[in-house]
Amino acid sequence: MAEIVPFKLRGYLTKMVSLRLANDSDNAQLLDLERMCPQGTSLVLSFDRSPDFFSRSRVYKDYKIYVAEEDKKVVGTVGVTTKKLHINGEPVKSIYIYDLRVNPAHRGKHTGSQLVQHAIAEEGEADLAYGVTMEDNYPSVALFRKLGFSNVHNLTLFSIPVFKRKDHIALEARAMVSEDTPQVVNLLNRYYNDYDFFAKLTEDGFLERTKNLPGYGLTNIQVVETENKIQACVGLWDYSEIFTVTALHVSTRLAILRYILKFINAFKNTMQLPSVGEPFKLLYVRDFAFSGKADTASELIKHCLSLTYSYHCNFLTFALDPADLLIPMISKYSPIRVGYQIYGKGLKDKILQSSRMVYVDPMDL
């Protein structure tokens, strides 16, 4: 266990807050802390990973979770993992910062800043530290900026409401098997070769990640094959295996849309939006790649929507760079859009800015 680091918060000299690595005995307090910290402003979401707070972090090969503690009570937490990415075609050792949570009663006391700074310092040598946040998560944005981070790229979540469609699907897809691994890995590496924040895949690494990610596996990956050559692949990750997601507040526009759809559904089958306070399930699209014509990708999206409906999920969600070629294909399904931002800070003299598209790993959201 790392050394406990005490510090006095500016203006709060009577209280001592210590930073340390989290352990299993913190689980209940960390789950309570997460419930105190819903995400978003216009769309406020609650995330609950009961019964195991650490399940979200176990998707990474190595990770550390730090907690801030006052009077033996956990008042803040942050997670970190190291990644070997590529930016501008160059290898970059990075520290990914995630799961920053601070008890609302402790905000404004520098607890979040101390956690992030401590986590970066403990990880040692790296080229880049970065985190991902909703664009309207103003406290997180302010904290990153205060610590010298800058907005290096934007991305968008496109969540397509799922209902029974009668679209004709002009392709045949099947579940991936282990023998497909060399072709699938090669296809993904070629497809994302010019994307920043992408780490080239190996066959063993791909199989290990696919096996260890809850709600995922080879049977969750669909492939399209022509003359023994895989032309396209797509994975559907059941996010609800880690999180139960609930909308606590929606914008006026979404609230009005829900009432309109509720009326329309009395006469015809169309999309439905969950009510406030009602948990909903979503599938994240990951490991998506195709070669050849864009028609293949368009048909594969229709196939994914059909599968998502059969799995009784409410949304099919794509996390994409704003310039991604899939966006026009997805937009015709009237997705709900949520903006995210990547905040990064160079830890050395290396130039890290780039105008290239970024690869978005749904595990990081």
- DSSP string of 4-20? PEEEEETTEEEEEEEEE
Number of other CB atoms surrounding residue 6 within 10 Å: 10
- One fold for both 5-154 and 158-341? yes
Report the predicted TM-score, pTM, of the whole model to 2 decimal places: 0.87
Domain residue limits, the chain: 5-154, 158-341
CATH hierarchy code of domain 5-154: 3.40.630.30
Q: Token digits for 217?
A: 């596996």
SS3 299: helix
Q: Say if residues 103 and 303 touch (Cβ distance below 8 Å).
A: no
Is the predicted pLDDT of residue 13 greater than 50, yes or no? Answer: no
Q: pLDDT tens for residues 49-75?
A: 999 999 999 999 899 999 999 999 999
Residue from 39, 129, 25 nearest 67 by CA:
25
The arithmetic mean of pLDDT across residues 293-320, rounded, is 90
pLDDT digits (tens, 9 = 90+) for 112-140: 999 999 999 998 889 999 999 999 888 89
The CATH class of 158-341 is alpha beta
Query: What pLDDT digit, counting tens, does each position of 141-181 carry?
Result: 999 999 999 999 999 999 998 877 666 777 889 999 999 99
Per cent of the chain over pLDDT 90 is: 58
Q: Select from 64, 70, 65, 66 the least CA-distant residue to 7.
A: 70
- pLDDT tops 50 at residue 1: no
